[in-house]
Structure 1
Amino acid sequence: MNPLLKIGLLALLLLVSGCASLSNAERDRAAGIAVQARSTVVECSQADRCALDSPLRGLGGKAFAASTEAAPQHYATIIDEGEVSLVARLNLIRSATRSIDLQTYIFDKDDSARLVLDELLGAARRGVKVRVLIDQLSAISDLEILGALASSHQNFELRVYNPTFGKARLNYFDYAGSVLCCFRRFNQRMHNKLLVIDDALGVVGGRNYQDDYYDWDSEYNFRDRDVLVAGPEVREMAANFDAFWRAPRSVPAERLNDVGGLLLKHGAPPMPPAEFRHPQRIARVSDEANDPAYVTRAFVDTALPVASVRYVADLPRKHRRERPSQPANGQHVTEPQLDALISSAQTEVLLQTPYLVLSKPARKLFSDLRKRAQPPRIVVSSNSLAATDNPIVYALSYKYKRRNLRELGFNIYEYKPFPLDAPVDYRNLLPAPLGEAPPSDGKRSSLIGGSAAGSNARGSAGNGDRRRTEPDAVVDADTTASASPRQATPGPAARRRTDGSVVERRVLRAETRPSFLGTKAVNKPLPVTRTGARMGLHAKSMVVDRRIGVIGTHNFDPRSENYNTEGAVIIDDPVFAEALAQSILRDIHPQNSWTVAPRTKPPVLSGLNYSVGKASEALPVLDFWPWRYATDYEFQPGPDCPAPLRRQHEDFHKCYVAVGDFPEVNVGPKWLLVRMLTAFGAGLVPIL
């Protein structure tokens, strides 16, 4: 674009957008309105702020009591099931006696998010200092709610990270202007997810605050994972949160242009009333969060004692652009730590990421491992096209399947949209009329093939026979079919579509971003061939040599490396690492994932097909060759195939049947769209 034309367009866009900007004096006035409206009433005069007497909170005290400066002690619990992780959050918030720090990328206003907001406000009213830090791009954009939160209580503070043009809610001009003037800054997001209670207990993982992270969405839910840590290392989590809180890019909500404008025009608004879509579900998790027996069974009995715990996280200065001659100044923290763990692997790396997109440094890292005399086995759990929330990013994974399998030696498993043995209460995936809970006897059912307590549970009848060191256990499908979402049908509130998918409401999911020229999600899950709530992988975890386990927010992709700030918990403990490994291996079991493997060679011209496909892969954007090196396979158990096999096994093609490149995607008339995504999408990845 002509530089003068670009400057002219930018000036016009900024002028239009700037009409809503406030002067410094107006921002001060708006902030004053919010501060004056904040309640100063503290409902509890007790020293513990009337906190819930929680056995989970007591676990933090136990860890500190057993710790010395030279030998810190911790407890760690892996939380796999979504709704159970929500119960943990509610219990922790209610048990806080001094402080709550919450940091997240997405914060919706649906049932789960509103429930957490109400609990945070309740904690502030009883005297707990509450700080909430949300990223601007994908978090709350409702000005009424933001104004109400900013004006709610003296113990409650809300800040927004990196607000483009100083606003909470962007319009078309803002998006277009951000492309022209500040594309890099607009893309620099705070992807950290962290909850810290009294500097003693912390929750880190992939979950944001939205129904689809807690198995509460009727269309699409994330298979995700958190780790709950109790002990001295939580202080490092608190220190990292504080660095973000004090960063110049973290702006108090009341000082944003649009929120401040609302305060100036209408004063402090009341908090809109909660209108829960499923109140019985809210009541169920609330009761469980108050039940000491349930909390003990789910989170305390399953906690693993671990000594070596590290919280590694980027700092806001990662978003500074340094000159090439200057040192990195500690910008990147998470990525180098994870790379060092991978490079230290001797026998195996289990890697779970929703987006299998490798940067050049990552490719070199795995290439160097491959060149060893005895390279470690690399197992990757990722999404299929039918399961992913981000089909354009999947295009790059699809484009480089040959490289990832043949050159890097990956063993790749793609998550199914309707897994039969996921860590989920399948009743939550069944449709129910608005305002009604799913069919239930009032109690939580045990998980299919697992315990509601998460991956650390030992000796439970449901999962003992599936805890294998390899994905080689065949689970009887008859034990799970009745609970599978395969037979689910849309509820009356859902809008049916002829392509098999059901859309009940439009939401911005996970890493999905709106268009740079609009405010609605344009990159969303593709239609599938079945009705019912499907699942997509969102967990970001790694196990090295069954000795070190990692759970965090890093997607192991270029965006996490270069744009987003990330965080992760690294635990050097073989028992914890094995528990995490078994959780990942469960996800790659044939009931839950397809195996990616090379196709059988065609009888003629196999060499030509391979060469042309490789050349097409090397093209920068368009990858036109339709006959791929690899495809997805489904395990077919039988007398000669009693257990799943690795793709390298000589009998692999006898026991597995090819199911196509995009199984369960309802391609139909959208075949051209899917091919365009996989051909051109690779070129779009850097800006997504």
Structure 2
Amino acid sequence: MERQTTSGFLPQWLKLALIFCLGFVLYACSSLPERMPVKPSYYISDTGDTRLGELFEARKAAHQGLTGYHLLIDPIDAIAARLMLIEKAQKSLDLQYYIWHNDKVGALALEGLLRAADRGVKVRLLLDDNNTGDLDASLLALDQHPNVEVRLFNPFVYRKWRMLNYLLDFSRNNHRMHNKTFIADSQVALIGGRNISNQYFDAGESFQFSDVDVMMVGQIVPEVAKSFDDYWNYPMAYPAAQMIKASDHQLTLNQLRFQLAHYKATSTAQNYLDLTREQADFDNWLSGNEKMQWVPAHLVQDSPEKINKDAKRSEHLTFQLQNLVGKPQKQLDIISAYFVPADTGTESLISMKRQGVRVRVLTNSYAANDVGVVHAFYAKRRKELLENGIELYEFLPQSRNVKGRKSKKNHISALADDGADKKGLNIGDSSDASLHAKMMTFDNQQAFIGSFNFDPRSANLNTEIGVILDSPTLATQVSKDLDNSIMNIAYRVRLNERGKIIWEEKTPTGIKVYTHEPNISPIKRFGLKVLSYLPLDGYM
């Protein structure tokens, strides 16, 4: 009897062998190559003769050892500050971001950086590579400029099929550089939660993030600049030209310059730029017409070694934060877009409450959260937190259609008294924003602002940066704003007399009570419940 054969098909054992070999080759190729030799570079410290240096020289001399700060809460103020700093810079611009999108804001910022480089400013652009997929051609072209260097932090090997990087090297690629810093002429530094994308600056037709940055001068700026240098010179910061194949992209520097200039001239871009030119806050702050608060400030940051899990405990932001603020004695307010306390955080917050500390948390509701899966791992802790006296508020779901900005301040309104003529913590409106801010206040004495969310991902996986301002004025103002107006923008979550979770919403006719989580279908609610049982808290 002859052996049966199947014409046109490979034997099963050979198929398996080929699949194994292919998988092995793909895995081997997913490892990062050795970084090409690069010359270390450092921030330019001799910038006292620049326009920005001269603007702040007298004020810094009068406040030795202190930091002057200004909150950037309104999104148009925030982008106006960045674009004007790019325009005013004369020697250096150092920018470090987690996300830089190929959209209106991203294009206008790139156009500004390119013009700055043309007039002799040294530009260093450091981007985490998780969100640069549609920018490869532009980054490669920009990097051709003699005054520009572009580096990608923890880069992806596979540029087109980017998910392959996670499938083949999940452990490395799951650690990301989440820092956001902006430094102009080593004189002015910005830190906060905003990335470079339409969603953070009121520039898109989809929902907008409500966020907070802090702009600083004085003592802390060299520390922020040194932090940038640490990441810039770290072995995981690869030159863009090494990771992006020139053969895959035909865009030249001159073509990029033409495209960006052409886009800037469009009515869409000009209408948006007109809004930024209307903002007086930044100019008033620069000129000294607006009184600047000068306070002791402390930079807290993760070492870039955290990406490789090699950072010492003292090199973690969480360790530094705890050492600087200690244990709150009276009050802790947490504003965190993604709030996943997990076991350790839950125990810590409950312990504080038992010691008499008021603990209040503002985070996103499910409908306001742009990463719905994260909500499952917050919701599983919700009842335990409430049972132990933690106050929870969830940002109201927002409209997904932006109709346009009618005036300077009414689009992103305040956590402030209704009708009050004062500056408060204007972090949200109940019409078109989703919470993205990361802020904490301690005992009405200190305030933290940065990129750090209250979740395991920020604590253990990603690198983060932030600043602690020893400002009782700011911390007290935040607390008062939350006391007076948090119900204008958030559900109050609490337990009813039967121990069931309810959501209370302030409406024109009174308080509306929900006995089931608002704006989520029973099927989704069930799915999130099932998901919450999986041991995934540490990845959130």
TM range (shorter): 0.7 to 0.9
User: 1:484: how far off?
Assistant: 7.1
Who is 1:222 aligned against? 209
User: 1:359: how far off?
Assistant: 3.5
Q: SS state of the match for residue 578, structure 1? A: helix
Q: Distance in 1 between matches of 2:408 and 2:494?
A: 36
Contact persistence 1:288–1:294 (CA under 8 A):
no
Alignment equivalent of 1:134, drawn from 123, 127, 134: 127
Alignment equivalent of 1:631, drawn from 499, 502, 508: 502
The reply to whether residue 412 of structure 1 matches residue 410 of structure 2 is no
Q: Aligned residues, how many?
A: 513
Alignment equivalent of 2:177, drawn from 190, 197, 210: 190
User: 1:237: how far off?
Assistant: 0.2
Q: Go from structure 1 to structure 2 and tell me whether the alpha carbon gap of 1:673 and 1:547 turns closer, same or farther (over 3 Å shift).
A: same
Q: How does 1:419-430 map to 2 (within 5 A)?
A: 430=402
User: 1:661: how far off?
Assistant: 3.5
Q: Distance in 2 between matches of 1:599 and 1:204?
A: 40
Who is 2:490 aligned against? 593
The reply to whether residue 445 of structure 1 matches residue 408 of structure 2 is yes
Q: Distance in 1 between matches of 2:79 and 2:422?
A: 27
Contact persistence 1:354–1:537 (CA under 8 A):
yes
Q: Distance in 2 between matches of 1:173 and 1:156?
A: 30
Q: Distance in 2 between matches of 1:20 and 1:260?
A: 19
Q: Distance in 1 between matches of 2:77 and 2:391?
A: 31
Q: Which amino acid aligns with 2:390?
A: F
Q: How does 1:531-610 map to 2 (within 5 A)?
A: 534-582=432-480, 589-601=486-498
Who is 1:520 aligned against? none
Alignment equivalent of 1:320, drawn from 292, 308, 311: 308
Q: Which amino acid aligns with 1:116?
A: A
Contact persistence 1:66–1:73 (CA under 8 A):
no
Q: SS state of the match for residue 69, structure 2? A: strand
Q: Go from structure 1 to structure 2 and tell me whether the alpha carbon gap of 1:296 and 1:191 turns closer, same or farther (over 3 Å shift).
A: same
Q: Distance in 1 between matches of 2:442 and 2:265?
A: 41
Contact persistence 1:73–1:305 (CA under 8 A):
no
Alignment equivalent of 1:358, drawn from 326, 335, 341: 341
Q: Go from structure 1 to structure 2 and tell me whether the alpha carbon gap of 1:290 and 1:390 turns closer, same or farther (over 3 Å shift).
A: closer
User: 1:364: how far off?
Assistant: 3.2
Who is 1:513 aligned against? none
Q: SS state of the match for residue 357, structure 1? A: coil
CA-to-partner distance for each residue in 1:545-600, whole Å, 9 max, x for gaps?
A: 111011001101100111000011101121122344455557x6222111001033
User: 1:340: how far off?
Assistant: 4.2
Q: Which amino acid aligns with 1:445?
A: K
Q: Go from structure 1 to structure 2 and tell me whether the alpha carbon gap of 1:86 and 1:680 turns closer, same or farther (over 3 Å shift).
A: same
Contact persistence 2:142–2:253 (CA under 8 A):
no
Who is 2:153 aligned against? 161
Alignment equivalent of 1:673, drawn from 524, 533, 539: 524
The reply to whether residue 15 of structure 1 matches residue 17 of structure 2 is no
Q: Which amino acid aligns with 2:367?
A: A
Who is 2:295 aligned against? 307
Q: Go from structure 1 to structure 2 and tell me whether the alpha carbon gap of 1:551 and 1:266 turns closer, same or farther (over 3 Å shift).
A: closer
Q: SS state of the match for residue 468, structure 2? A: strand
Contact persistence 1:13–1:174 (CA under 8 A):
no
User: 1:142: how far off?
Assistant: 2.9
Q: Distance in 2 between matches of 1:59 and 1:580?
A: 29
Q: Go from structure 1 to structure 2 and tell me whether the alpha carbon gap of 1:681 and 1:342 turns closer, same or farther (over 3 Å shift).
A: farther
User: 1:345: how far off?
Assistant: 1.2
Alignment equivalent of 1:394, drawn from 362, 375, 380: 375
Q: SS state of the match for residue 270, structure 2? A: helix
Q: How does 1:280-295 map to 2 (within 5 A)?
A: 280=267, 282-284=269-271, 286-287=273-274, 295=282
Q: Distance in 2 between matches of 1:569 and 1:561?
A: 16
Q: Go from structure 1 to structure 2 and tell me whether the alpha carbon gap of 1:578 and 1:448 turns closer, same or farther (over 3 Å shift).
A: farther
Q: How does 1:91-490 map to 2 (within 5 A)?
A: 91-151=84-144, 153-165=145-157, 167-178=158-169, 183-256=170-243, 258-262=244-248, 270-271=255-256, 273-274=259-260, 276=263, 279-280=266-267, 282-284=269-271, 286-287=273-274, 295-297=282-284, 301-302=289-290, 304-322=292-310, 329-330=312-313, 332-340=315-323, 343-372=326-355, 375-407=356-388, 409-418=389-398, 430-431=402-403, 438=404, 444-447=407-410, 463-464=420-421, 485=431
Q: Distance in 1 between matches of 2:441 and 2:34?
A: 50
Q: SS state of the match for residue 60, structure 1? A: helix
Q: Go from structure 1 to structure 2 and tell me whether the alpha carbon gap of 1:168 and 1:193 turns closer, same or farther (over 3 Å shift).
A: farther
Q: Which amino acid aligns with 1:12?
A: L
Q: Go from structure 1 to structure 2 and tell me whether the alpha carbon gap of 1:446 and 1:679 turns closer, same or farther (over 3 Å shift).
A: same
Q: Distance in 2 between matches of 1:597 and 1:137?
A: 38
Q: Distance in 1 between matches of 2:185 and 2:237?
A: 22
Q: Distance in 1 between matches of 2:92 and 2:234?
A: 20
Q: SS state of the match for residue 245, structure 2? A: helix
Contact persistence 1:392–1:678 (CA under 8 A):
no
User: 1:21: how far off?
Assistant: 9.9
Q: Distance in 2 between matches of 1:64 and 1:571?
A: 17
Contact persistence 1:339–1:365 (CA under 8 A):
no
Q: Distance in 1 between matches of 2:103 and 2:113?
A: 15
Q: SS state of the match for residue 355, structure 1? A: coil
CA-to-partner distance for each residue in 1:521-559, whole Å, 9 max, x for gaps?
A: xxxxxxxxxxxxx32111000111111011001101100
Who is 1:504 aligned against? none
User: 1:635: how far off?
Assistant: 3.3
Q: TM-score, normalised by structure 2?
A: 0.83
Contact persistence 1:343–1:369 (CA under 8 A):
no
Who is 2:83 aligned against? 90
Q: SS state of the match for residue 270, structure 1? A: helix
Q: Go from structure 1 to structure 2 and tell me whether the alpha carbon gap of 1:288 and 1:222 turns closer, same or farther (over 3 Å shift).
A: closer
Contact persistence 1:379–1:410 (CA under 8 A):
yes
User: 1:91: how far off?
Assistant: 1.0
Contact persistence 2:74–2:412 (CA under 8 A):
no
User: 1:150: how far off?
Assistant: 1.7
Contact persistence 1:200–1:232 (CA under 8 A):
no
**Structure 1 residues without counterparts, runs of 5 or longer:** 32-46, 323-327, 420-427, 432-437, 469-479, 486-533, 602-609, 611-628, 639-654
CA-to-partner distance for each residue in 1:394-440, whole Å, 9 max, x for gaps?
A: 01111111111113x21111001238xxxxxxxx9643xxxxxx476
Who is 1:503 aligned against? none
Question: CA-atom RMSD, angstroms?
Answer: 3.8
Q: Go from structure 1 to structure 2 and tell me whether the alpha carbon gap of 1:81 and 1:23 turns closer, same or farther (over 3 Å shift).
A: closer
Q: Distance in 2 between matches of 1:351 and 1:125?
A: 43
Q: Distance in 2 between matches of 1:189 and 1:268?
A: 29
Q: Which amino acid aligns with 2:309?
A: R
CA-to-partner distance for each residue in 1:616-668, whole Å, 9 max, x for gaps?
A: xxxxxxxxxxxxx3121123677xxxxxxxxxxxxxxxx74422443234x3x
Q: Distance in 1 between matches of 2:203 and 2:411?
A: 17
Contact persistence 1:547–1:572 (CA under 8 A):
yes
Contact persistence 2:100–2:127 (CA under 8 A):
yes
Who is 1:528 aligned against? none
Q: SS state of the match for residue 188, structure 1? A: coil
Q: Go from structure 1 to structure 2 and tell me whether the alpha carbon gap of 1:6 and 1:138 turns closer, same or farther (over 3 Å shift).
A: farther
Q: TM-score, normalised by structure 1?
A: 0.67
Q: Distance in 2 between matches of 1:289 and 1:413?
A: 32
Q: What is the percent sequence identity of the aligned residues? A: 26
Q: Go from structure 1 to structure 2 and tell me whether the alpha carbon gap of 1:58 and 1:359 turns closer, same or farther (over 3 Å shift).
A: farther
Q: Which amino acid aligns with 1:410?
A: I
User: 1:380: how far off?
Assistant: 0.5
Contact persistence 1:147–1:262 (CA under 8 A):
no
The reply to whether residue 686 of structure 1 matches residue 520 of structure 2 is no
Q: Go from structure 1 to structure 2 and tell me whether the alpha carbon gap of 1:254 and 1:6 turns closer, same or farther (over 3 Å shift).
A: farther
Q: Distance in 2 between matches of 1:348 and 1:581?
A: 9
Q: Which amino acid aligns with 1:658?
A: V
